[in-house]
Chains A and B, each alone.
Chain A
Amino acid sequence: NAGVTQTPKFRILKIGQSMTLQCTQDMNHNYMYWYRQDPGMGLKLIYYSVGAGITDKGEVPNGYNVSRSTTEDFPLRLELAAPSQTSVYFCASSYVSSGANVLTFGAGSRLTVL
């Protein structure tokens, strides 16, 4: 059982380039999330999805796009990379039926934009 798998682990981009961070979960979780983690800032929600075909913006969506064509996959696309997008990105998933839901995180993707 792999849990949440993110690729790549590290990437360096030039300003203006685009890329996609991949995220796959094998737990049949209905909810998936993308967070970014900046030093001293905690985690900020970029986008989330409550099921296949449904996505919505979080706190900091500008400069990013997502899609959710299957339950398992939730890729995050960066268009026109900017230095402000240098961060560590975490994908997470959870099963939400009722009550508090526990997040399962991937290992993270460290992105540097130069």
Chain B
Amino acid sequence: AQSVAQPEDQVNVAEGNPLTVKCTYSVSGNPYLFWYVQYPNRGLQFLLKYITGDNLVKGSYGFEAEFNKSQTSFHLKKPSALVSDSALYFCAVIPASGTYKYIFGTGTRLKVLA
């Protein structure tokens, strides 16, 4: 079965430190990969996506993600965390076979401590 795994329910990081939120996927072919962020009582917002090309993708709010095909991973990173980055982060994939059916991970709660 096709799936997306976010192995950490919660990640804590001190403000100013680099952060990483992990994502691995199990999907056949060459999927499209996404990160979305959800702030309290809000809908999900798009952060970045990988379709093809450079393995390092830059997105909104200083976030970036690194695609690793051999490890089937798409980890979200930021060089210096802000308290305002505290939110719920979702990794998602669209299998190459379809352009509309997302598979979402279960989410990782990021807490940035002042």
Contacts and interface: CB of A to CB of B under 8 A. Distances in A.
B100 A48 contact: yes
Nearest to B90: A42
A45 interface: yes
Interface in A10-27: none
Nearest to B99: A96
A74 interface: no
Chain A: interface size category: 20 to 34
Contacts of B32: 99-100
B46 A103 contact: yes
Interface residues of B, number: 23
Contacts of A101: 94, 99-100
Contacts of B101: 45, 48, 58
Interface string B78-114: 0000000000001000100001111011110000000
A102 B104 contact: no
A40 B101 CA distance: 20
A90 B104 CA distance: 14
Nearest to A44: B104
B90 A43 contact: yes
20 contacts: A40-B107, A42-B4, A42-B90, A42-B104, A42-B105, A42-B107, A43-B102, A48-B100, A48-B101, A58-B101, A92-B43, A99-B51, A100-B32, A100-B34, A100-B51, A101-B94, A102-B49, A103-B102, A107-B42, A108-B42
